[in-house]
Chain A
């Protein structure tokens, strides 16, 4: 398995992340609302006259950063829980039962349930998305840890006096990393997808924070007046998901 084979997705992500350096998403100019692409505004303007290119770029950077941070968090949490489950039998039973339970509720429903119980905001969105995201990482890592348990090379390191921390950091984690990285490219796409959907419904990011999901949600109302409010964020999400898919090398068939 060789994930991260294609290089162009990385270039695309880096380009979009440059949006953070724009510093703000433009000024309101009601005289120039809902314009098509033109000299002053290469992408056109939105319903209150803000430059769509600025908003698209900054919103993309925000969506991608959110997805990246969450994916890293999911992977770290999954790894920690797998290590805990590997140590004690009762923890293993508890954690696997919890994973089975959370995996039997579709991800969007789980997030919506949590959002009904928390105040709207960025923190709630992060919590809602983090609740079930760790499951595949934990299952994969635990599986591999079980395989490594009987590995002769690890036994040798132990016999030569390698401590627990040394074995974990230098011998176990490097062998888990490629597996978790491959899963992370799947997870990145999934988080972009769900976050966009929640923002589209108006329960994700607050509408004043530009992201591709919130831009789609507000642009939908001005579909006929100016399709550009809709087309740019659509193109952004499509490109990001295609890039995430190409990054993992085209393999993998994950349910919905």
Chain B
């Protein structure tokens, strides 16, 4: 029952985002048809774009058309490619998904490596990882690593090796945030009287981890992981640009540059839907793992 309500709420949020994306072009001072047609287009050309974008219809009719399209699995037609937006997005999805899950897996390993040791140095390392934006790290890695390793692909998808640098770049800041959460939690629990009593009475380390520490940190860790995965599923705009990976992020940047409004709207709607769905899934998973969250 409760999970059904949560699913309904997530659905309502996505519907709200859809409404926002549809209404926003009409609220802003700029005419979207003029922007799409270009500075030097004639009035007739702008009117044609207005018709294509559905801006010549009153809002309720335009919303009804868009809603019916969406329920039929369509998201409008791209201005630039004259192809269905849904098809274009589906074309970029596999690349973005693979990058997202690879980066998340790498970040989980890095996070534990940065969370388990203690001391000032490791705290500084966590802070440095958090303060490393991908658009700084990516070019730096290209300069420091790629030019010295012959045969390492630096752009595009050519075999498994082309995923190494992008996944690592994306993983570092994610790992920094995870490591900080893990380290804070671990420190708190390690000093708790209950666990000290376990240790003093000779409960073996493996059991302490399995029965107390891991379950205790998994909740907050899952929350962070969910936020991060949700953000990644919409496409890693910056990393895909740096390493020229043909994913959703690249599609969005290309659509932005060519003022392809339906494609931008589609990509943003997908990103928001993936984000909301991931949050809902994480909440559900946490209720499964932790009876207190039910």
Q: Do A and B come from one complex?
A: yes
The interface of chain A, by Cβ under 8 A from chain B, is: 97, 100-102, 104-106, 108-110, 112-119, 189, 193, 196-197, 200-203, 213, 216, 219-220, 223-224, 227, 230-231, 234, 237-238, 241-242, 244-246, 250, 253-256
Cα of A229 to Cα of B268 in the assembled complex, Å? 33
Interface centre among B32, B220, B231 (most CB of A within 10 A): B231
Tell me if B130 is interfacial: C-beta within 8 Å of chain A: yes
Judging by beta carbons under 8 Å apart, are A242 and B127 in contact? yes
Selected from B128, B241, B242, B272, the residue in CB contact (under 8 A) with A109 is B272
- CB neighbours (8 Å) of B230 from chain A are 106
The distance from the CB of A227 to the nearest CB of chain B, in whole angstroms, is 5
Where chain A touches its partner, the secondary structure class is: helix
Question: 0/1 per residue, B4-24, Cβ < 8 Å to A?
Answer: 000000000110110011001
Judging by beta carbons under 8 Å apart, are B143 and A230 in contact? yes
Q: Given A116-B256, A119-B35 in contact, is the A201-B271 Cβ separation under 8 Å?
A: no
- CB neighbours (8 Å) of B67 from chain A are none
The distance from the CB of B176 to the nearest CB of chain A, in whole angstroms, is 10
- CB neighbours (8 Å) of B174 from chain A are 256
The interface of chain B, by Cβ under 8 A from chain A, is: 13-14, 16-17, 20-21, 24-25, 28, 30, 32, 35, 123, 127-128, 130-133, 135-136, 139-140, 142-143, 147, 173-174, 177, 180-181, 184, 220, 224, 227-228, 230-231, 234, 237-238, 241-242, 252-253, 255-257, 259, 261, 264-265, 267-268, 271-272, 275-276, 279
Judging by beta carbons under 8 Å apart, are B177 and A238 in contact? no
Judging by beta carbons under 8 Å apart, are A253 and B255 in contact? no
Cα of A247 to Cα of B174 in the assembled complex, Å? 21
Q: Mind listing 24 A-B residue pairs with CB under 8 Å?
A: A101-B17, A104-B14, A106-B234, A106-B275, A108-B237, A109-B267, A116-B256, A116-B264, A117-B30, A118-B28, A119-B30, A189-B131, A196-B135, A196-B136, A197-B135, A197-B237, A201-B237, A201-B253, A223-B143, A231-B140, A238-B136, A245-B130, A250-B123, A255-B231
Cα of A112 to Cα of B265 in the assembled complex, Å? 10
Cα of A225 to Cα of B143 in the assembled complex, Å? 11
- CB neighbours (8 Å) of B271 from chain A are 105-106, 109
Judging by beta carbons under 8 Å apart, are A254 and B177 in contact? yes
Judging by beta carbons under 8 Å apart, are B131 and A223 in contact? no
Judging by beta carbons under 8 Å apart, are B181 and A101 in contact? no
